[in-house]
Amino acid sequence: MTTIQLRPIDYVILGLYFAFVLGIGFALRRHTRSSTDFFLSGRSIPAWVAGLAFLSANLGAQEVIGMAASGAKYGIATSHFYWVGAIPAMVFVGVFMMPFYYGSRARSVPEYLKLRFDEKTRGLNAVTFACMTVVSSGISMYAMGLLLGVLLGWDFSFSVLVSACIVLAYIFLGGLTSAIYNEVLQFFLIVAGFVPLVYLGMQDVGGWHGLTTRLAVAATKAGYAPGAYTHSWRHMGAAADNPMGVEWFGLAMGLGFVLSFGYWTTDFLVVQRAMAADSMSAARRTPLIAAFPKMLFPALVILPGMIALALTTRSGATGFTLPAKPDGSLNYDLTIPLMLGHYFPPGLLGLGLTALMASFMSGMAGNVTAFNTVWTYDIYQAYIRKGASDEHYLWMGRMSTVFGIVLSVATAYATTQFNNIMDMLQLVFAFVNAPLFATFLLGMFWRRTTGHGAFTGLLTGTLAAAVHHGLTLPRGSGVGIKGGWLGHVATTYPSEMAQNFWTAIWAWTACFVVTIAVSLVTKPRPEAELRGLVYSLTERARSEGEPWYRRPGVLAVVVLAMTLALNLIFF
C-alpha cells in the first residue's frame, strides 16, 4: 500500500494547528493556580462553549475513524449510534441528571456515588472507570498511530510514541480549561475538514441515488436484501437480515437503552464538561446544545464509510478501494485516511488531516482529563494521600497525566486485533458503563437503594459481562480478546457489535436485579441524608422567566422531535 504524499502547504497547515493548540495551553497555564482550576475549570465555562466541548470530547479519533469504519462495515444502521444511542440519553442527562451532578458539587462521578451510596461503591467505580479511560485512550492512540503509518509511512510503534508525546505536552500545560477551548476549535476544524470529503465522495458515486444503487449490489453480494446498507430499521426484524447482525430488541435494549444511557449519563469524560459550566441552567443546557449538531454528524462520519464501501465493491474500478487485512477481512479503520488521500489535493489535504488530528486531540484530551481527575480525587486523595495541600494534588494531577498516557500505549497494541475500533470501544462500555447505569437509575429514582446493594450490583454486573463475553464469540473469530476464553462457546453472534449489545444487556440486568435484592435486605440511609441526591427528595430545577430557547424542557422536545423525523426519513 502506498503512503499519502504530503506537500509543503499541507505541513504548514498542520504546523500552524499544533502551534495554535500548544499556544492556548501556554496562555492558560498561568490561570491554572489550583486543583479546581486544573480539573473543573473553576466552574466558569459558558453554556455554548461547554456544549460544543461536551460534543467534541466524544468526537475523538475513535468516533471519526470508528464510525466511518462502521459505516463501511454496517451501512446506515450505524446511525443508530446517534439517533437511538445518543440523542435520547443526552436529553435525559440534561433534563434529569445534571441537577444531581451539578447541585451536589461533586467533583467527579465516583464522588457522586460516594455521596449517594458509600465509599466502597465510589472506590469500585473509580478503579473501573480509570481502567476504561486508559483503554479508550489507547484506542485513540492506535487510531493516531494508524493514521501516521498510512500518511507518512512511519512504523506503528514509533507513531504511537509520537502521538503519546503530543498529547502529553498538550494536556500537561493547561488542564481542563485548555482542553475545553481546544475542543471548541477542534469541533469547527472537523466540520470544515469533512464537509468537502463528503461532497467529493457523493459526487464520485453519483449522489444519493448512485450510492444506494451501488450499495444494493454490495448487499446482494453479502447475502442481504438490496436495502440492507441504506435502511436503518427496515431490516432489523431478524439478526441475519442486516450487516450489524442484531435484531431490533437487541439494538433498542442493548444500544438504545443500556449502552447509550450508560455512557452519556455516567461517563465522567462527557459529564465533566457540563460540570464545568458557569451555572445550573448552563449545565442543564450543555448536553441539549450538543445534541443539535450531534444528530447531524452521521452525514459527516458515517456517509464517508458508506461511500468507501460503494467504491470498493464497484465492478472493474481502478480508483479507491479498501485494503484487506492478512485474515482476508477489509481494513475498515483505514477508510478516512485513504479517502482523504484519494480525494483531497494539496492544501485541502492539509486541512483534512488537521481535522483528523483535531479529532485525535479531542478524544485523547477528554480521556486524559477524566482520568487524571478520577485518579487524583477518587483514588489518590481518598486512599493513598489524604489531607495533602492543594498544590500537591495539582502536582499529582499533572503527574497522573503522564502515568495515564504511558498505560494507554499498551492498550494501543491490543486494539490491532479488531478491524473496527468501535467494536472494541463498545465492548469496554459494556463492561463498565452498562452495570453503572443500572446503579445510577436505581440510586436516583428509588430512595430505598442502599450502598451494599449498589456495590454488590456493580460487581455482579461486571462479572456477568465477563462471563457472557467468555462464553460467546463473534462468527469467524478465534478464542482470545473477542471472547470464548471460558472453554465453552455457548453462543456465536453474527458480529462483534451484536455480541457487545448482548453483553451490555446481561451486565445491566444482573446489576439491576442484584442491587434491588440486596437493597431490600439491607438498611437504607435516612431520607434527610439523601436530599439533593434522589429525584423525589430534590427540589425541581426551574427555568421560568427565561427565554424559550434557554429552557431545557423546550430544547428537549425540539431535539427529540427532530431525531424522530430523521429515524422516519431513513427508516
| CATH number, residue 386 | 1.20.1730.10
Residue 566 within any structural domain of the chain: no
Residue 568 lies in a domain: no
More confident residue, 307 or 56: 307
Residue 484 has pLDDT above 70, yes or no: yes
Task: Tell which wins on pLDDT, 415 or 37.
Answer: 415
pLDDT over 90 percentage in the chain = 40
Residue 260 parent element (H or E): helix 260-266
- What mean pLDDT comes out for the span 258-263? 91
Report the distance separating Cα 19 and Cα 55, nearest Å.
23
Question: Average pLDDT, stretch 176-204?
Answer: 84
Q: Tell me what pLDDT residue 358 has.
A: 77
Of residues 209 and 64, more confidence is placed in: 209
Q: Answer yes or no: do 224 and 186 share one domain.
A: yes
Task: For residue 411, give the C-alpha cell.
Answer: 492498550
The more confident residue out of 363 and 463 is 463
Site of grid cell 451486565: 507
Same domain, 397 and 532: no
Share of the chain above pLDDT 70, in %: 91
Helix (H) or strand (E) holding 7: none
- Examine the domain organization and report whether 245 and 261 are in the same domain: yes
Across 468-488, average pLDDT: 87
pTM here? 0.84
- Which pLDDT score, from 0 to 100, does residue 316 have? 47
Number of domains making up the chain: 2
Residues 232 and 259 in one domain: yes
| Least confident interval from 2-11, 125-134, 255-264, 332-341 | 2-11
Most confident of 106-110, 435-439, 530-534: 435-439
Whether residue 550 lies inside any domain: the answer is: no
Decide if 229 contacts 218 (C-beta within 8 A). Answer: yes
Least confident of 239-248, 331-340, 442-451: 331-340
Amino acid at 494: P
The pLDDT, as a whole number, for residue 255 is 92
357/461 same-domain check? no
If asked whether residues 251 and 162 sit together in one domain, one would say: yes
- Predicted confidence (pLDDT) at residue 2 exceeds the cutoff of 60: no
Determine, yes or no, domain membership for 96.
Answer: yes
- Whether residue 33 sits in one domain with residue 12: yes
Asked whether the predicted pLDDT for residue 174 surpasses 60, the reply is no
pLDDT band per the 50, 70, 90 thresholds, residue 85: very high
**Cα–Cα distance for residue pair 32/176, rounded to 1 Å:** 9
Domain that holds residue 509: 424-540
The conformation of residue 344, written as its DSSP 8-state character, comes to: P
pLDDT at 387 over 90: no
Residues 291 and 174 in one domain: yes
Spatial distance between the Cα atoms of 481 and 418, rounded to a whole number of angstroms:
9
Cα–Cα distances (Å) from 388 to 377, 381, 385, 397, in that order, read: 11, 8, 7, 13
H or E element in which residue 147 lies: helix 119-152
**Confidence band for 80, pLDDT divided at 50, 70 and 90:** very high
* Bigger pLDDT: 282 vs 513: 513
The pLDDT of 83-107, averaged and rounded, is 87
Higher pLDDT, 26 or 384: 384
How far apart are alpha carbons 201 and 208 in whole angstroms?
A: 11
Backbone dihedral angles phi then psi of residue 107, each to the nearest 5 degrees: -90, -10
Are 176 and 302 found together in one domain? yes
Lowest-pLDDT choice from 26-30, 41-45, 340-344: 41-45
Is the pLDDT score of 29 beyond 60?
Answer: yes
Are residues 411 and 429 located together in one domain of the fold?
Answer: no
d(CA 400, CA 407): 10
Residue 85 sits in the same domain as residue 204: yes
Using the predicted structure, report yes or no on whether residue 402 has a pLDDT greater than 50.
yes
Provide the pLDDT for residue 44.
67
Q: Is the pLDDT of residue 42 over 50?
A: yes
Residue 551 resides in a domain: no
Highest mean pLDDT among 1-15, 338-352, 536-550, 554-568: 554-568
Q: Compute the average pLDDT of residues 325-343.
A: 83
* pLDDT average, residue stretch 191-218: 93
- What's the mean pLDDT in 550-555? 89
For residue 553, is it within any domain? Answer: no
- Average pLDDT of the residues in 265-285: 83
Residues 437 and 478 in one domain: yes
pLDDT value for 371: 86
In a domain, 321, yes or no: no
